Copies of this chain bind each other. A is one copy, B any other.
Amino acid sequence: MHDHTHSCDCHPEHHDPDHHHHDPEMNEYIPPLYLLAGTLLPPVESDPATLIQNIAGIIDHTLLKPDATSDHIRQLCEEAVTHGFYSVCVNSGFVPLASQLLEESDVKVCTVVGFPLGANLPEIKVMEAEIALLAGADEIDMVLPIGALKAGNYEWVMADIQGVVETCYGYNALCKVIIETALLTDDEKVVACQLAKAAGADFVKTSTGFASGGATVADVQLMRQTVGNTLGVKASGGIRTRQDAISLIEAGANRLGASASIRIING
- For the complex, what is the distance from the CA of A150 to the CA of B71, rounded to whole Å? 11
A183 interfacial contact with B, CB 8 Å: yes
A37 interfacial contact with B, CB 8 Å: no
Min CB–CB distance A67 → chain B (angstroms): 5
Q: How many copies, total?
A: 2
- For the complex, what is the distance from the CA of A131 to the CA of B128, rounded to whole Å? 11
Report 19 cross-chain contacts, Cβ distance below 8 Å, ordered by A residue: A66-B116, A66-B118, A66-B146, A67-B150, A68-B119, A69-B150, A71-B151, A91-B119, A92-B119, A92-B120, A93-B119, A93-B120, A93-B145, A93-B148, A95-B121, A116-B116, A120-B128, A120-B132, A123-B131
What per-residue 1/0 map shows which CB atoms of A105-146 lie under 8 Å from chain B?
000000000011111111110011001100100000001011
Known interface pairs A91-B120, A92-B121, A117-B115; A147-B69 also in contact (CB < 8 Å):
yes
- For the complex, what is the distance from the CA of A120 to the CA of B64, rounded to whole Å? 10
- For the complex, what is the distance from the CA of A45 to the CA of B145, rounded to whole Å? 38
Decide: B66 and A119 in contact? CB cutoff 8 A.
yes
A86 interfacial contact with B, CB 8 Å: no
A127 neighbours in B (Cβ, 8 Å):
124, 127-128, 131
Decide: A66 and B120 in contact? CB cutoff 8 A.
no
Decide: A151 and B93 in contact? CB cutoff 8 A.
no
A119 neighbours in B (Cβ, 8 Å):
64, 66, 68, 91-94
Nearest-neighbor residue (CB-CB) of A114 within chain B: B93
A72 neighbours in B (Cβ, 8 Å):
147
Known interface pairs A123-B131, A127-B131; A117-B64 also in contact (CB < 8 Å):
yes
Q: Which of B121, B131, B132 contacts A93 (CB 8 A)?
A: B121
A128 neighbours in B (Cβ, 8 Å):
120, 124, 127-128
A121 neighbours in B (Cβ, 8 Å):
92-93, 95-96, 131-132, 135
- For the complex, what is the distance from the CA of A164 to the CA of B134, rounded to whole Å? 20
Nearest-neighbor residue (CB-CB) of A144 within chain B: B66
Min CB–CB distance A178 → chain B (angstroms): 11
Decide: A147 and B95 in contact? CB cutoff 8 A.
no
A60 neighbours in B (Cβ, 8 Å):
none
Q: What 13 new A-B contacts, CB under 8 Å, besides A70-B153, A91-B117?
A: A64-B119, A66-B117, A69-B147, A69-B148, A71-B151, A91-B119, A92-B120, A92-B124, A94-B119, A121-B131, A123-B131, A124-B128, A127-B127
Nearest-neighbor residue (CB-CB) of A96 within chain B: B121
A219 interfacial contact with B, CB 8 Å: no
A94 neighbours in B (Cβ, 8 Å):
119, 147
Considering the complex, which residues of chain A in the window 176-235 have a beta carbon less than 8 Å from any beta carbon of chain B?
180, 183, 210-211
